[in-house]
Each structure stands twice: as structure tokens, then as C-alpha cells.
Amino acid sequence: MHSYHHNIKTFNSDTRNLTRVERSLYRDLIELYYDTEKPIPADNFDRLARKVMANTQEEREALQYVLDEYFIKTGNVYTHNYCDNQIEKYYANTTAKALAGKASAEARRLKNEQRKREREQQNLTGVEHTLNSVEQNSTNKKPETSKHEPLDITPTAKPSAKSKLDYSCWPSMPSEQVLADYLALRKSKRAAMSQTVINRLAKEFNLAAQYGVTVDQCLEMAVARGWQGFQWDWYQNSTRQQSGGKSQINLNETGWLHGTTDQQSVFGIGGNISGVEKCLPEPARGFGGEASVVGGTCGEQDHDLGAIEPWDYEG
């Protein structure tokens, strides 16, 4: 026993006549009794005195008094009725708990075995049901002819959403990297790429192509600016901001000098043209801004329209 029930009131009343040394020795003897769970040996008094630390003559005399007063000498041992009863109760309680634990463990084992048998029975029932269904289907199935055609077990790949999109309405296809970057941008904004979006972008891309701007350049600007969509006006405004308020226009690419492009589409905003004003068509004159031309001849002035470089429009 590593613990025992100590009744303070009973102990105090039973030891009221003892000195402090005697009370301490009595307590040590009781704990020795419980710890060994057997009576105290009476054949060697000196050894017992050392166990309870009764070293002085006074302590040894107190030990002998306590043994004679509270213990019963039976043969070569000292017994104590109260301690024997407590030890007996302890063993009875321990035995009962052990039996209860064994019974509980046995009940759990039996319950687990029952659950296992039930699961096995359910599995067997399911297998029998499946076999019966297969057998019934086999009975109702029409006999097959001797001619068998090989089955095509090649998996058919489902067309992806991207393969259904038609980009033919765009003036040109962008590079794979630029298109991938733009699609990734739209995906990050949770905007799917649909055919309707492609058709709307085509209108803006075709307008940009009239000014010599490719689809690659449009999408690159959209990715750089974080645009989910694209409009030609956005591109013009962004380019004007980057060039400090000047818009870059290539006269050779616009083709209006050769009569292939509407002059108003090039000079649709006000401005004054210097350097080549006499060489420009009438609708292009009288607008605010500047135009610069490099070298060549033009009528009376020293300009060659065929050699006009890209010029800045400031509006």
C-alpha cells in the first residue's frame, strides 16, 4: 500500500496520553505496517529501532512502550487489528476493480467480435446481390453473333474551352507568351475569356491596326497597365502620357500621303503643323500641335515626303 486513510480525530484521541516522540514513533510504525502490508517483526529490536530512527536511549524506550501499548505480540511479530482490517479492505477493493476491469475488457472484446461478424455478413449479402444481378442480366441478354467488331477503347479527349475560341477575327495572332500573360491577367481578375470578349477586342485591334499598332503591342500595354479589357482610346492616352503629351504617328504607315487613308483619321484633333505644312493635304492644316520632318524636298521647300520620319503630335 502506498497510501492509507488517516482519521485525525481517532488518532488524536487514541494518542492523547503519548509524548511527541512516542506519537511520532507510533505513526512511523503504522506506516511501516502499511508499506510492508504485514505485521512488524519482533525478533530483532535493534533492527526495528534503526528502521524507525530510534537512536537515543529515550527514543528506544519510547519505541518499546508504543509496541507494548498499541500492538499485540504474536510469536515473532507485532500485529495491529485496525491496520489488518485496512489491508484486507484494500485487497478486496483491488480485487473487485481487477475483476471489473477484466469483465469490461471481455465485454468489449465480445462486442467487437459481434460487430466484425455483422460487417462480414453485410459484405456477403452485398456480394450475393451483385452476383444475382449479373446472373439475371446474363440470362436476359440476347445471344451474340459470331461476327465481332473490335472495340475502340481509345479515350476521347474532351475539347477544352480554349480550343473552342475563334481568334480569326483579330487582324493578327499575338505571340504565345503575350497571349498567355494576358489570359493570366484576366484569370487573376476572375474574368473568363469568352468568344464575346474576343469579338469586342477584335474591333479595337482592327482600329489599332489602322495606325500601325499590332495586337502584340495592344496586349503588352494591357498587361503592363493591368487592363482586363482593351480600347484603342486607352492605348492612345497611355502612349501620350508616356511621351509627355506627344502622340507618335508614322506618316509612312498611315498611308494618307499616298491616298490610302482618311486624312481626318490621322489629324482628327486640332494642331499646327510646321516644317511640312505646305506639303500636307488641306484637311491636315490649321490644327494645334507640332509636326517635325527630316530632310528631303517638297515642292518649293527642301523636304521629301517619302523620307518623313515618325513625327510627334502634341495636342
Residue 231: which pLDDT band, with cuts at 50, 70 and 90?
very high
* Grid cell in block for residue 161: 474551352
Q: How far apart are CA 265 and CA 215, in angstroms?
A: 19
Tell me: the pLDDT tens digits for 149-176? 555 555 554 545 445 889 999 999 999 9
In this predicted structure, the answer to whether residue 303 has a pLDDT above a threshold of 60 is no
Residue 304: which pLDDT band, with cuts at 50, 70 and 90?
very low
Tell me: the pLDDT tens digits for 188-201? 989 889 999 999 99
| pLDDT for position 120 | 87
- Which DSSP string do the residues of 85-115 spell out, in sequence order? HHHHHHHHHHHHHHHHHHHHHHHHHHHHHHH
Tell me: the pLDDT tens digits for 263-300? 444 444 344 434 444 444 444 444 444 443 333 434 43
- pTM of the predicted model as reported, rounded to 2 decimal places: 0.32
Range 196-203 contact pairs with CB under 8 angstroms and sequence separation of 24 or more: 197/229, 198/165, 198/166, 198/167, 198/169, 198/170, 199/169, 200/229, 201/170, 201/229, 201/230, 202/169, 202/170, 202/171
Which position has the higher pLDDT, 147 or 113?
113
